[in-house]
Amino acid sequence: MNRWLLHPLAKPVVWLLLGLPAASLVWAALYGGLGPNPAEALIRSLGDWTLRGLCLTLAITPLRQLTGWSGLARFRRNVGVATFVYATLHWSAYAWLDMEWALDALLKDIGKRPFILVGTAAWLALLPLAATSFNAAVRWLGGRAWRDLHKLTYVIGPVALLHFWWMRAGKNNLLEPAIYALVIGGLLAARRWRA
């Protein structure tokens, strides 16, 4: 497995896989596959893929430690950047399709609805991680400071989960948030146990 993970074509394949959900959403949007409320379907789907990306990002280190597949470490930044892209598309779709980019209405809505405030906070916390996701940033910050900054992921995961939980609680649909809570809780517990 390590041989495949270290193959030069592995990263393009991973990027292709990370881009498939976005491509399928674009296809669905163009050809009427988003159902009767396309704006809501798009916003929700992008949020779902953001949460899945966070879970995948959090899973890479425990999976690497469990399996001995050291090559997995190569993909942590790729998955993190893709997660940030999905989060940005999710937040932008909300700001555009729900709020029509009206800044005053947007700020009012963020202040009025806690789940949107928490989701916005999670997205803002991803910004410095995405901004420092390239090698020059690692050199500029120094390895230790860069690693410390990127530990924000362990805070962002639960905050994003809270956003999702509150959003689904309004519709009395807590099964999916409970599953994500188990996954994120387990991944954080594995990290803590290993530390």
Q: pLDDT tens for residues 144-157?
A: 998 889 889 999 99
pLDDT in the model for residue 195 = 62
Task: Specify the pTM.
Answer: 0.93
Helices assigned H by DSSP within the chain: 2-5, 10-30, 38-67, 76-93, 103-112, 114-131, 135-141, 143-150, 153-169, 175-194
| pLDDT tens for each residue of 62-119 | 999 889 999 999 999 999 999 999 999 999 999 999 999 999 999 999 999 999 999 9
For range 7-22, the mean pLDDT: 96
